[in-house]
Chain A
Amino acid sequence: MVKFLFQRTIGMAITMFFVSIMVFVIMELPPGDYAERWAFRKFSGTGAQITEADLDNIRANFGLDRPAPERYFKWISGIVLHGDFGEAFAFQTSVNNVIGQKIWLTLAILFSTLIVTYLVAIPVGIYAAIRRGSAEDYALTVFSYLGFALPNFLLALVLLYVSITVFDSSVGGLFSPEYADAPWSIAKAKDLLGHLIIPAIILAWSATAFQLQTVRATMLDELNNLSVTAARARGVPEWKLLLKYPARLAINPVVSTMSFDANRIFSELPIVALVLGLPELGELLLKSYLDLDMFVAGAILLILTFMIVFMNFLSDIFLAILDPRVKLIEG
Chain B
Amino acid sequence: MANTKEITKDNLLEVRNLKISFKTDEGIITAVDGIDFSVKHGQTLGIVGESGSGKSVSTWSIMRLLPKNSIIDKGSSIQFHRKSGKVVEMTKLKANSRELRKIRGGEVALIFQEPMSSFSPVYTIGNQIVEAVLQHRDVSKEEAEEIAVDMLDRVGISNPRQRFRQYPFELSGGMRQRAMIAVALSMNPSLLIADEPTTSLDVTIQAQILELMNELQEELGMSIIFITHNLGVIAQVADEIEVMYLGKILERGKTKEIIQQPQHPYTQALLEAIPRLDRLGERLTAISGDIPSPLSRPVGCPFYTRCEKVMPGICDIEMPKPTQLSETHTVYCFLHEEKDV
Q: What 0/1 readout, one digit per residue, does chain B (79-102) give for beta carbons within 8 Å of chain A?
A: 000000000000000001000011
Report the separation of the CA atoms of residues A324 and B123 in the bound assembly, to the nearest whole angstrom: 8
Is A245 a contact partner of B120 (Cβ separation < 8 A)?
yes
Which of these, B110, B119, B120, contacts A233 with CB under 8 Å? B110
Output the least CB separation between B88 and chain A (Å): 14
Which of these, A227, A235, A328, contacts B120 with CB under 8 Å? A227
Give the residues in chain A near B117, CB-CB below 8 Å.
225-227
Given A232-B65, A234-B183, A236-B135, A323:B122 Cβ within 8 A = yes
Output the least CB separation between A239 and chain B (Å): 9
Is B112 a contact partner of A238 (Cβ separation < 8 A)?
no
Report the separation of the CA atoms of residues A328 and B170 in the bound assembly, to the nearest whole angstrom: 9
Give the residues in chain B near A249, CB-CB below 8 Å.
122
Output the least CB separation between A301 and chain B (Å): 38
Is A235 a contact partner of B106 (Cβ separation < 8 A)?
yes
Give the residues in chain B near A227, CB-CB below 8 Å.
117-121
Q: How large is the interface on B (under 10, 10 to 19, 20 to 34, 35 or more residues)?
A: 20 to 34
Given A226-B112, A233-B110, A325:B105 Cβ within 8 A = no
Give the residues in chain B near A248, CB-CB below 8 Å.
122
Check: A183 CB closer than 8 A to any chain B CB. Answer: no
Q: What 0/1 readout, one digit per residue, does chain B (110-129) give for beta carbons within 8 Å of chain A?
A: 10101001111111000010
Is A324 a contact partner of B167 (Cβ separation < 8 A)?
yes
Output the least CB separation between A175 and chain B (Å): 45
With a 10 A CB-CB cut-off, give which of A233, A324, A328 has the most chain B CB atoms: A233
With a 10 A CB-CB cut-off, give which of A231, A237, A328 has the most chain B CB atoms: A231
Give the residues in chain A near B120, CB-CB below 8 Å.
225, 227, 231, 244-245
Is B121 a contact partner of A325 (Cβ separation < 8 A)?
yes
Check: A142 CB closer than 8 A to any chain B CB. Answer: no
Is B169 a contact partner of A234 (Cβ separation < 8 A)?
no
Give the residues in chain B near A234, CB-CB below 8 Å.
104-105, 109, 131-132, 135, 183, 187
Give the residues in chain A near B170, CB-CB below 8 Å.
328
Is B65 a contact partner of A233 (Cβ separation < 8 A)?
yes
With a 10 A CB-CB cut-off, give which of B96, B102, B122, B183 has the most chain A CB atoms: B122
With a 10 A CB-CB cut-off, give which of A244, A249, A323 has the most chain B CB atoms: A244
Check: B136 CB closer than 8 A to any chain A CB. Answer: yes
Check: B32 CB closer than 8 A to any chain A CB. Answer: no
Chain B residue at minimal CB-CB distance from A232? B65
Give the residues in chain B near A238, CB-CB below 8 Å.
96
Report the separation of the CA atoms of residues A146 and B131 in the bound assembly, to the nearest whole angstrom: 42
Is B118 a contact partner of A230 (Cβ separation < 8 A)?
yes
Chain A residue at minimal CB-CB distance from B100? A235
Given A232-B104, A233-B104, A233-B105, A324:B122 Cβ within 8 A = yes
Task: Give me 9 other A-B pairs in contact (C-beta within 8 A), A227-B117, A229-B65 excluded.
Answer: A227-B119, A230-B118, A233-B105, A234-B104, A234-B131, A235-B132, A235-B135, A323-B122, A328-B170
Name B's A-contacting residues (CB within 8 A): 63, 65, 96, 101-106, 109-110, 112, 114, 117-123, 128, 131-132, 135-136, 167, 169-170, 183, 187
